[in-house]
């Protein structure tokens, strides 16, 4: 199992968290998504490494931006 953590900007509420979790959860290979609203962190678990560009694209689709990988 692989885990990657990203910094996401623009999230301000529970709906934001739900949107990000839904979009990232649809990326092929992702098995688990956790979002820390207060810290602006997105933690993605997968069976194999997932391309960071795919995660960033999913976050963008939800209306937010990945500003870095922690």
* Position 70 pLDDT exceeds 90: no
Q: Hey, where are the domains in the chain?
A: 2-69
Model pLDDT for residues 19-39, shown as the tens digit of each residue: 999 999 999 999 999 999 999
- pTM of this prediction? 0.95
Q: What are φ and ψ of residue 17, in 5° steps?
A: -60, -45
Q: Of 3.40.50.300, 3.40.640.10, 3.10.20.30, 3.30.70.100, which CATH number belongs to 2-69?
A: 3.30.70.100
Specify the pLDDT at position 6. 98
Q: Do the beta carbons of residue 42 and residue 8 sit within 8 Å?
A: yes
Instruction: Give one DSSP letter per residue of 23-55, joined into a string.
Output: HHHTSTTEEEEEEETTTTEEEEEESS---HHHH
HSE-CB of 14 using CA atoms within 13 angstroms:
0
* Position 61 pLDDT exceeds 90: yes
């Amino acid at each position: 199992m692989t885990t990657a953590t990203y910094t996401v900007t623009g999230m301000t509420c529970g709906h934001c968290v739900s949107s990000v979790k839904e979009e990232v959860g649809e990326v092929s290979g992702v098995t688990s998504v956790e979002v820390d609203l207060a810290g602006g962190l997105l933690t993605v678990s997968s069976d194999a490494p997932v391309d960071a560009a795919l995660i960033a694209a999913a976050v963008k689709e939800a209306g937010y931006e990945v500003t870095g990988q922690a």
